[in-house]
A and B are shown apart, each in its own frame.
Chain A
Amino acid sequence: MNNPLLSVQGLRTYFYTGAGVARAVDDVSFEIGAGETVGLVGESGCGKSVTALSILRLIASPGRIEPGSRMLFEGRDLLALSEEDMRHIRGNRIAMIFQEPMTALNPVFTVGDQIAEVARVHDGASRRDAWNKAVEMLELVGIPAPEERAKEYPHQMSGGMRQRVVIAMALVMKPALVIADEPTTALDVTIQAQIIDLLKDLQQRFGTSILLITHDMGVVAESVSRVIVMYGGEIVEQATVDQLFAKPHHPYTEGLLSAMPRVGHERERLQTIPGTVPPPTSWPSGCRFHDRCPYAWERTRVEHPPLYEVEAGHLSRCHLAQEPERRLQPHTPLVAQS
């Protein structure tokens, strides 16, 4: 990709806790092009949100972005910026949408006031102008009667409306990149579809790039062009959405896809991946997925797999790339054996 908007190279974010060093994000590299929507998927605890917060440098102590990590955004090294310069990027060039719209809004201010605040922080807009901007943004995200709605408090709105407000806040400055951290997880299914449509619509209008973090493969299928699958703090597979759904390579991705309900297969019992994500203080040796993997063999227990290129633009961190015949002999994973 020529001149990507965001280029993350070897990002490591570790937390120094009493229980040991939690390697929440461990050597993650990816790129996001201008106007592109990239999906970041994985179970809870695999490092998605920490990756997002790392891009904005919002990791609080005892967490730390390790030296050697590099993040280039619009040609600037984010990790070399002063805190003040970084502040100008947050909300202005990169904005974030959070999972729970109730807690992402301040309960004591009207929603209009909170949207206006962004314009006041970054534009130095007057109270009047910022308020008008807020009303305009509410209209843009499809809130009816925006003039009146702007004067309401977050608790007076429904979940879907609140998420629209959060999106309005993120888009005030027309950022180049929006990081949406599970923006639909806390919402009803019908509202989820509306919010995804809204994001797609706004992206087309403003040409914003979106990093969509989710654990919902359905959301991925309908809204992104490229997918990054994370497991155990690492990227385990990266592909276009077509490649990923047609030919998933990594057993973890396979598991995620078969855990997704599909039309036409209603009668079948949904598959699950046995076990849970191990704690980030003690990732397993070799392949971090080996104890949950139905194809694991001796090599996966000792040798940490690199990212293999299995086809053009399709990367997978699995030794099956070199020993594809192993895929024919699935067995019960280690964690399910005892």
Chain B
Amino acid sequence: MFTDAIDRTRRLLHGLGGPARVALVVLLCFYALALLAPVVAPYAPSQQLDIVALKNQPPSFAHWFGTDRVSRDVLTRTLYGARVSLSVATLAMLVAAVVGTTYGLVAGTLGGAVDTVMMRFLDALLAIPRVLLLIAILALWNPVPLSMLVLLLGLTGWFDVSRLVRAEAMAMREREFVVAARSLGARRGRIMLRHLLPNVLVPVIVTTTLGIGNVIVLEAGLSFIGIGVHEPTASWGTMFQEGTAAFAGTWWAALFPGIAIVVTVLCFNVLGDALRAVLDPRHLPRSRIAAPAATFAAVAE
């Protein structure tokens, strides 16, 4: 079973193709750096090195990404910013995926009146513009704790996932293997978890991967207008905002967190698209063990 998993992972990586593999490596490096920030970062995130001599220093060997207007090391803050930006986006999408999948699966499996009510409720939620809702809440709840920011982003981001899952579950429910499973005595719960859930997971994984990129941008945007993550906590969004707020000569304070955002979002998009193509099990190669029937047919020809 364990070797089987390794084998499958290897096949998956192989199938992803060059660009997606690069994207995956880059993202893994970013997550590793974020995790190891306290070890690899040269300074503490809010340490003001020398408010007079070391403010607004351009990139140099001592400070690779330069220093900002209050003499903090930009590299250090970009690394710590990755911790916040990546974890907020990842956890928020995880919340969205769990809530969306559960909601969609229940609606799609039960069908009938339950489904109708659940979907009309979802339509109502979809009618609310997400960004405006977030701005309204965050403007009133200022400063918002990070855990609440994760929940807010997650709980406003599951609608698409649940529609997708519901549609897939409805299509699957009519498939013969579900009827076959029932004809062999499987319970409703088993059918939902074993026969429907795994078959809807692929679109969920793809949407979630693509969604993380979106949430990073959203968090950066909210932080940029001053209502997401708050100073002195570093996130790429707050850093970018600060960098652009400072005078035009200190381009480095905004450029590096900006690049981090662009590269991360690009990688998530590339990876998500490649996963969509490869996760469909029908892409696995056919068996090489010849069936006797096939041999017979070959001889007959």
Partner-B contacts on A (CB < 8 A)? 53, 56, 58, 61, 87-92, 95-96, 98-100, 103-109, 117-118, 121-122, 142, 144-145, 148-149, 151-153, 155-158, 160-161, 166, 169-170, 188, 190-191, 194
Residue of A nearest to B186 (CB): A121
The residue that A158 contacts in the complex, of B175, B182, B199, B291, with Cβ under 8 A, is B291
Chain A residue contacts of B287, Cβ below 8 A: 149, 152, 156-157
Asked whether, in the complex, the Cβ of A107 is within 8 Å of the Cβ of B281, the reply is: yes
Q: Known contacts A87-B187, A90-B184, A153-B284; is A148 also within 8 Å of B289 by CB? A: yes
Q: Known contacts A106-B195, A144-B289, A153-B284; is A121 also within 8 Å of B176 by CB? A: no
CB distance from A87 to the nearest CB of B (A): 5
Q: What 1/0 mask marks residues of chain B from 195 to 207 whose CB sits below 8 Å from any chain A CB?
A: 1001100000000
Asked whether, in the complex, the Cβ of B177 is within 8 Å of the Cβ of A118, the reply is: no
Size of chain B's interface in residues, with CB distance under 8 A? Answer: 33
**Interface core residue of B112, B190, B293 (most chain A CB under 10 Å):** B293
Q: Known contacts A103-B175, A104-B180, A155-B281; is A191 also within 8 Å of B190 by CB? A: no
Q: When chains A and B are docked, how far (Å) is the Cα of A100 from the Cα of B184?
A: 16
Asked whether, in the complex, the Cβ of B185 is within 8 Å of the Cβ of A92, the reply is: yes
Asked whether, in the complex, the Cβ of B293 is within 8 Å of the Cβ of A160, the reply is: yes
Q: When chains A and B are docked, how far (Å) is the Cα of A53 from the Cα of B187?
A: 17
Interface SS, B side = helix
Q: What 1/0 mask marks residues of chain B from 263 to 301 whose CB sits below 8 Å from any chain A CB?
A: 000000000000000000110111101011110110010
Asked whether, in the complex, the Cβ of B184 is within 8 Å of the Cβ of A156, the reply is: no
B147 is an interface residue with CB less than 8 A from chain A: no
Q: What 1/0 mask marks residues of chain B from 165 to 186 whose CB sits below 8 Å from any chain A CB?
A: 0000000000111011111111
Asked whether, in the complex, the Cβ of A103 is within 8 Å of the Cβ of B176, the reply is: yes
Q: When chains A and B are docked, how far (Å) is the Cα of A151 from the Cα of B1?
A: 10
Asked whether, in the complex, the Cβ of B176 is within 8 Å of the Cβ of A100, the reply is: yes
**Interface core residue of A99, A108, A142 (most chain B CB under 10 Å):** A108
CB distance from A300 to the nearest CB of B (A): 37
Chain B residue contacts of A121, Cβ below 8 A: 184-186, 190
Asked whether, in the complex, the Cβ of A106 is within 8 Å of the Cβ of B181, the reply is: yes
Chain B residue contacts of A106, Cβ below 8 A: 177, 181, 194-195, 198-199
CB distance from B290 to the nearest CB of A (A): 8
Q: Known contacts A144-B291, A161-B293; is A109 also within 8 Å of B183 by CB? A: no
B50 is an interface residue with CB less than 8 A from chain A: no
Asked whether, in the complex, the Cβ of A58 is within 8 Å of the Cβ of B183, the reply is: yes
Residue of B nearest to A158 (CB): B291
CB distance from A277 to the nearest CB of B (A): 22
Q: When chains A and B are docked, how far (Å) is the Cα of A169 from the Cα of B186?
A: 13
The residue that A104 contacts in the complex, of B112, B176, B285, with Cβ under 8 A, is B176
Q: Known contacts A117-B194, A122-B185, A155-B282; is A96 also within 8 Å of B180 by CB? A: yes
Q: When chains A and B are docked, how far (Å) is the Cα of A169 from the Cα of B176?
A: 14
The 8 lowest CB-CB distance pairs between A and B, nearest first, are A91-B184, A91-B185, A103-B176, A90-B185, A96-B183, A156-B287, A108-B198, A104-B180
Residue of A nearest to B294 (CB): A158
Asked whether, in the complex, the Cβ of B4 is within 8 Å of the Cβ of A95, the reply is: no
Q: When chains A and B are docked, how far (Å) is the Cα of A142 from the Cα of B292?
A: 10
Chain B residue contacts of A157, Cβ below 8 A: 287, 291
Q: When chains A and B are docked, how far (Å) is the Cα of A160 from the Cα of B175?
A: 20
Chain A residue contacts of B180, Cβ below 8 A: 96, 98, 104-105, 166, 169
Chain B residue contacts of A56, Cβ below 8 A: 183
Residue of A nearest to B177 (CB): A106
Chain A residue contacts of B297, Cβ below 8 A: 188, 190
Chain A residue contacts of B4, Cβ below 8 A: 151
**Interface core residue of A53, A91, A122, A169 (most chain B CB under 10 Å):** A91
The residue that A103 contacts in the complex, of B177, B184, B185, with Cβ under 8 A, is B177
Asked whether, in the complex, the Cβ of A156 is within 8 Å of the Cβ of B293, the reply is: no
Asked whether, in the complex, the Cβ of A107 is within 8 Å of the Cβ of B185, the reply is: no
Q: When chains A and B are docked, how far (Å) is the Cα of A106 from the Cα of B282?
A: 12
Given A90-B183, A161-B291, 20 additional A-B pairs, CB 8 A: A87-B185, A90-B184, A91-B183, A91-B184, A91-B186, A100-B176, A106-B181, A106-B194, A106-B199, A107-B177, A107-B282, A109-B198, A121-B184, A151-B4, A153-B284, A156-B286, A158-B294, A188-B297, A190-B296, A191-B293
Chain A residue contacts of B286, Cβ below 8 A: 155-156
Q: Known contacts A58-B183, A157-B287; is A194 also within 8 Å of B293 by CB? A: yes
Chain A residue contacts of B186, Cβ below 8 A: 87, 91, 117, 121
CB distance from B220 to the nearest CB of A (A): 36
Chain B residue contacts of A87, Cβ below 8 A: 185-187
Interchain Cβ contacts under 8 Å between A and B, 9 examples: A58-B183, A87-B185, A88-B185, A91-B183, A104-B176, A153-B281, A155-B281, A155-B282, A158-B293
Q: When chains A and B are docked, how far (Å) is the Cα of A92 from the Cα of B287?
A: 31
Q: When chains A and B are docked, how far (Å) is the Cα of A98 from the Cα of B198?
A: 22
Q: When chains A and B are docked, how far (Å) is the Cα of A188 from the Cα of B289?
A: 20
Chain B residue contacts of A104, Cβ below 8 A: 176-177, 180
